[in-house]
Chain A
Amino acid sequence: MKLLRAEFQNFRMLRDLQLEFSIDPNTNLTVIRAANESGKTTILHGLQWALYGDAALPDKGEGFRLHPIDWDEREGNRVPIIATVEFELTTYRRTSGEVRETRRRYRLVRSAFEEVDGGTRRFDSTVKLFALNETGASPIDAPEALINDELPPELREVFFTDGDRALSFIEADVALSTKRERVQRAIRSLLGLGVVDGAIKHVRKSAAEVNKKAKQVGGSDQLNSIATRLEAMENNREKLETDLEDAKQQFSAFDEKVDEVDREIAAALQKGDKVKLRKDLENARAEISQLDSQLAAANKEHSALFRGRSIATGLLTPVLVGAFNTLEELHNQGKIPNTTIPVLYDRLEAKVCICGETLVPGNPDGDNRRAHIQKLIDDNQRADEIQEIITDLYYSTKSLQGGRGAETSAWQEEFKKVVERRDGIQTLRDEAGRKLRALEMQLDSLPDTDIQGLRETRRRYKDLRDRYLSKQSSIGTQLTGLSREREVLEVERDRLLREQKRGARILAELEVTQDVMKILKSAYQRITNEELRKVSELMNSVFLEMIGADPEQGSMIQRAEISHEFDIIVYGPNDRTLNPDRDLNGASRRALTLAFILALTKVSEVEAPNVIDTPLGMTSGFVKHSILRTAVRESTQLILFLTHDEIAGCEEIIDESAGLVFTLTNPVHYPKMLVNDPGVSERRVVRCECDHRSDCQLCLRYEDVQFEL
Chain B
Amino acid sequence: MADRYFNPFQAIDINVPVEFHEAFTRYCQRSADAVIDQSPFPRMVDLWFLSVCIASRLGLEPADITDYDTRKIIDGSIFGSDPWRVHTLMLIAIAKSGDVQVVSEPRQMMTLANGLAVAGLPKVIEMLKEGDAEPIWNLSDAVDSLLRKGVVA
Query: Closest B-chain residue to A386, C-beta based?
Result: B104
- Please tell me which stretch of B13-21, B67-75, B94-102 contacts chain A, meaning at least 4 of its Cβ atoms lie within 8 angstroms of it: B94-102
Q: Are A315 and B147 in contact (CB under 8 A)?
A: yes
Query: Closest B-chain residue to A330, C-beta based?
Result: B100
B64 at interface, CB cutoff 8 A: no
Query: Closest A-chain residue to B91, C-beta based?
Result: A323
Q: Are B104 and A315 in contact (CB under 8 A)?
A: no
Name the A residues within 8 Å of B42 (CB-CB). 303-304, 306-307
Query: Closest A-chain residue to B27, C-beta based?
Result: A306
Q: Are B88 and A307 in contact (CB under 8 A)?
A: no
Q: Which of B128-151 contact A (CB under 8 A)?
A: 136, 139-140, 143-144, 146-148, 150
Query: Closest A-chain residue to B35, C-beta based?
Result: A299
| Cα–Cα distance between A616 and B19 once the two chains are bound (Å) | 58
- Kindly identify which residue among B46, B59, B87, B101 contacts A306, using a CB–CB cutoff of 8 Å: B46
Q: A315-B57, A318-B150, A330-B100 are in contact. Are A305 and B140 (CB under 8 A)?
A: yes
Q: Are A299 and B36 in contact (CB under 8 A)?
A: yes
Q: Interface residues of A, CB < 8 Å — how many? A: 44
Name the A residues within 8 Å of B152 (CB-CB). 318-319
Name the A residues within 8 Å of B54 (CB-CB). 315
Name the A residues within 8 Å of B59 (CB-CB). 319
Contact bitstring A298-311, B, C-beta under 8 A = 1, else 0: 01101111110101
Q: A386-B104, A563-B32 are in contact. Are A319 and B83 (CB under 8 A)?
A: no
Q: Are A306 and B32 in contact (CB under 8 A)?
A: no
| Cα–Cα distance between A322 and B56 once the two chains are bound (Å) | 13
A567 at interface, CB cutoff 8 A: yes
B3 at interface, CB cutoff 8 A: no
* CB of B20, distance to nearest CB on chain A (Å): 17
Q: Are B92 and A316 in contact (CB under 8 A)?
A: yes
Q: Are A311 and B143 in contact (CB under 8 A)?
A: yes
Name the B residues within 8 Å of A315 (CB-CB). 53-54, 56-57, 143, 146-147
- Kindly identify which residue among B33, B43, B87, B98 contacts A397, using a CB–CB cutoff of 8 Å: B87
- Kindly identify which residue among A319, A396, A411 contacts B56, using a CB–CB cutoff of 8 Å: A319
Name the A residues within 8 Å of B8 (CB-CB). 389
Name the B residues within 8 Å of A385 (CB-CB). 104
Contact bitstring A312-333, B, C-beta under 8 A = 1, else 0: 1011101111111011001000
Q: A303-B29, A565-B31 are in contact. Are A393 and B90 (CB under 8 A)?
A: yes
Q: Are A390 and B100 in contact (CB under 8 A)?
A: yes
Q: Are A323 and B95 in contact (CB under 8 A)?
A: yes
Q: A303-B136, A319-B95, A386-B103 are in contact. Are A411 and B87 (CB under 8 A)?
A: no
| Cα–Cα distance between A567 and B84 once the two chains are bound (Å) | 30
Q: A302-B140, A303-B29, A318-B150 are in contact. Are A392 and B6 (CB under 8 A)?
A: yes
- Kindly identify which residue among A316, A330, A382 contacts B91, using a CB–CB cutoff of 8 Å: A316
Contact bitstring B100-138, A, C-beta under 8 A = 1, else 0: 110110000000000000000000000000000000100
Q: A306-B139, A393-B90 are in contact. Are A326 and B100 (CB under 8 A)?
A: yes
Name the B residues within 8 Å of A419 (CB-CB). 140
Query: Closest A-chain residue to B43, C-beta based?
Result: A307
Name the B residues within 8 Å of A309 (CB-CB). 84
Name the B residues within 8 Å of A320 (CB-CB). 91-92, 95
Name the B residues within 8 Å of A307 (CB-CB). 41-43, 46
Q: Which of A523-571 contact B (CB under 8 A)?
A: 563-565, 567
Q: Are A400 and B100 in contact (CB under 8 A)?
A: no
Q: Are B100 and A386 in contact (CB under 8 A)?
A: yes
- Kindly identify which residue among B50, B95, B136, B148 contacts A311, using a CB–CB cutoff of 8 Å: B50
B40 at interface, CB cutoff 8 A: yes
Q: Are A389 and B88 in contact (CB under 8 A)?
A: no
Name the B residues within 8 Å of A564 (CB-CB). 32
Name the B residues within 8 Å of A327 (CB-CB). 94, 100
A318, A319, A326, A396: most-surrounded residue (chain B CB, <10 A): A319
A415 at interface, CB cutoff 8 A: yes
Q: A307-B42, A389-B90 are in contact. Are A412 and B147 (CB under 8 A)?
A: yes
B61 at interface, CB cutoff 8 A: no
Q: What class of interface size applies to chain B in its complex with A?
A: 35 or more
| Cα–Cα distance between A314 and B83 once the two chains are bound (Å) | 17
A409 at interface, CB cutoff 8 A: yes
| Cα–Cα distance between A389 and B146 once the two chains are bound (Å) | 32
Q: Are B53 and A312 in contact (CB under 8 A)?
A: yes
| Cα–Cα distance between A67 and B136 once the two chains are bound (Å) | 61
Q: Are B40 and A396 in contact (CB under 8 A)?
A: no
Name the B residues within 8 Å of A302 (CB-CB). 36, 40, 136, 140
Name the B residues within 8 Å of A324 (CB-CB). 91
Q: Which of A234-274 contact B (CB under 8 A)?
A: none
| Cα–Cα distance between A322 and B139 once the two chains are bound (Å) | 28
Name the B residues within 8 Å of A397 (CB-CB). 87-88, 91
Name the A residues within 8 Å of B144 (CB-CB). 412, 415
B49 at interface, CB cutoff 8 A: yes
Query: Closest B-chain residue to A176, C-beta based?
Result: B33
Name the A residues within 8 Å of B53 (CB-CB). 311-312, 315-316
Name the A residues within 8 Å of B84 (CB-CB). 309, 312, 396, 400
Q: Are B36 and A303 in contact (CB under 8 A)?
A: yes
| Cα–Cα distance between A709 and B40 once the two chains are bound (Å) | 66
Query: Closest B-chain residue to A401, C-beta based?
Result: B91
| Cα–Cα distance between A389 and B90 once the two chains are bound (Å) | 10
Q: Are A316 and B88 in contact (CB under 8 A)?
A: yes
Name the A residues within 8 Å of B95 (CB-CB). 319-323
* CB of B25, distance to nearest CB on chain A (Å): 11
Query: Closest B-chain residue to A301, C-beta based?
Result: B36
Name the A residues within 8 Å of B29 (CB-CB). 303
| Cα–Cα distance between A392 and B84 once the two chains are bound (Å) | 11
A300, A322, A389: most-surrounded residue (chain B CB, <10 A): A389
| Cα–Cα distance between A315 and B100 once the two chains are bound (Å) | 21
Q: A302-B40, A316-B91, A400-B91 are in contact. Are A389 and B103 (CB under 8 A)?
A: yes
Q: Are A314 and B98 in contact (CB under 8 A)?
A: no
Query: Closest A-chain residue to B99, C-beta based?
Result: A326
Q: A306-B41, A386-B103, A397-B87 are in contact. Are A322 and B98 (CB under 8 A)?
A: yes
| Cα–Cα distance between A565 and B88 once the two chains are bound (Å) | 32
Query: Closest B-chain residue to A296, C-beta based?
Result: B36
| Cα–Cα distance between A388 and B5 once the two chains are bound (Å) | 13
Name the B residues within 8 Å of A303 (CB-CB). 29, 36, 40-42, 136
Query: Closest B-chain residue to A399, C-beta based?
Result: B84
Q: Are B57 and A316 in contact (CB under 8 A)?
A: yes
Name the B residues within 8 Å of A311 (CB-CB). 50, 53, 143
Q: Are A565 and B32 in contact (CB under 8 A)?
A: yes
* CB of A493, distance to nearest CB on chain B (Å): 22
| Cα–Cα distance between A498 and B152 once the two chains are bound (Å) | 54
| Cα–Cα distance between A326 and B95 once the two chains are bound (Å) | 9
B50, B88, B136, B146: most-surrounded residue (chain A CB, <10 A): B88
Closest 6 interchain pairs by CB? Answer: A565-B32, A323-B95, A323-B94, A299-B36, A307-B46, A315-B53
The 6 listed contacts between A and B (C-beta, < 8 Å) are A302-B140, A303-B36, A322-B98, A389-B90, A390-B100, A412-B148
B residues near A (Cβ < 8 Å) are 6, 8, 29, 31-33, 36-37, 40-43, 46-47, 49-50, 53-54, 56-57, 59, 83-85, 87-88, 90-92, 94-95, 98, 100-101, 103-104, 136, 139-140, 143-144, 146-148, 150, 152
Known: A323-B91, A396-B87, A419-B140. 11 other contacts (CB 8 A): A306-B139, A307-B42, A312-B53, A312-B84, A323-B94, A390-B103, A396-B84, A397-B88, A411-B147, A412-B147, A415-B144
